[in-house]
Amino acid sequence: MQVYRLDKLDIEILSRLLNNCRTPDSQIGKEIGISGVAVKSRIQKMLGQKIIEKFTLKIEPPVLGYSVLYFVVIGKELGDILNKIRLVGEPFFVVPCVGGITVCSIVVKENPEHAMELAKNILRDVRVLSIFEAKNPEIRSDLTKTDIAIIDILLKDPRMKIEEIAKTSGFSTKTVARSLDKLQNDEAIQFTLIYNPRKMGEYIPFAVLVSVDDVKKTLSKLKEKFEKSFLQNPLLHLDKIVLFLYSNNIYKIDELGQKIHEVEGIHSVDLFIPKEINFPQKWAESTIVHAKKSKTLHLAVQIHS
């Protein structure tokens, strides 16, 4: 099979799908200046080459009754790290990076402060660069039983057509459309994809974790200066922002990191170049199963390994 080389249009398509993989091909085409048919063809080529590994639904655990702990560790095999953190909670986000660094997070049901102390103890023979609880006070959600049933279907295929969802769920197309509109406007639920950083050709994806005083004010400044380099929308925490960027020049990455550090209101900057990206769904699937069986919408259930 001939290797498919990404160009700027592919990056534009990938960026839009990362932010909402349900965006119609025709809409993407209109935004970037090509036909919807050409967009579909490019997506199929990226899927065929495994540049796009799969489309997925990323649900922020707090809306389902859980807390999230993030870790940045160095110097251990990925399997060893996962075995250790599973003693505290289910993996939510696992990204091995260049330089032997692994960025990962776990979903925890118990008190997050207690879970953090437990995790520190379990990881005492691992060099932990950072550990923190992820919090986003802006996240609100009012999921209904109907939404949960539709999310269960979308976990398998987040790009499924409304008519197919209606047929599978037994809901009307009107009900499905209303729920989809609600879910796509919920900050806690992201229709996205997993891509392979190793197959991006000359384009290098990277993430920048910044610690700040004022998230909204600093994010506004970062968007003003660096939005043209955004690969997808930033991830916000209580006092942290994660920027997802890309460059076609390895030498410009450090330079960009330095420029970000100079922005007023930023205390620290950590830069990561991913080697692979994983969003394990076991925790979400388990929660949805329990929620569907429940007579009430009580989502805070225990995850069983």
pLDDT at residue 238 in the model: 82
Nearest to 139 by CA among 210, 73, 60, 69: 60
Residues ≥6 apart with Cβ < 8 Å to 37: 25, 29
How would residue 301 be classed by pLDDT, with cut points 50, 70 and 90?
very low
pLDDT digits (tens, 9 = 90+) for 12-30: 999 999 999 999 999 999 9
Kindly report the backbone phi and psi dihedral angles of residue 289, in degrees, each rounded to the nearest multiple of 5, phi listed first: -60, -45
pLDDT digits (tens, 9 = 90+) for 282-297: 999 988 888 777 766 5
How many Å apart are CA 104 and CA 80, to the nearest integer? 13
Average pLDDT of every residue of the chain: 90
pLDDT at residue 297 in the model: 55
CATH topology of domain 8-49: Arc Repressor Mutant, subunit A (1.10.10)
pLDDT at residue 298 in the model: 46
How would residue 303 be classed by pLDDT, with cut points 50, 70 and 90?
very low
The class of domain 61-134 in CATH terms is alpha beta
The class of domain 202-272 in CATH terms is alpha beta
Average pLDDT over residues 84-99: 92
pLDDT at 103 over 60: yes
Q: Does this chain's domain 8-49 share its CATH topology with 202-272? A: no
Model pTM score: 0.90
How many Å apart are CA 53 and CA 247, to the nearest integer? 21
How would residue 305 be classed by pLDDT, with cut points 50, 70 and 90?
very low
pLDDT at residue 63 in the model: 84
Q: Which residues pair with 104 in a beta bridge?
A: 71, 94
pLDDT at residue 105 in the model: 93
Domain spans, the chain: 8-49, 61-134, 145-192+282-293, 202-272
pLDDT at residue 1 in the model: 57
Residue scoring higher pLDDT (126 or 229): 229
In terms of CATH architecture, what is 145-192+282-293? Orthogonal Bundle (1.10)
pLDDT at residue 136 in the model: 67
Whether the Cβ atoms of residue 176 and residue 165 lie closer than 8 Å to each other: yes
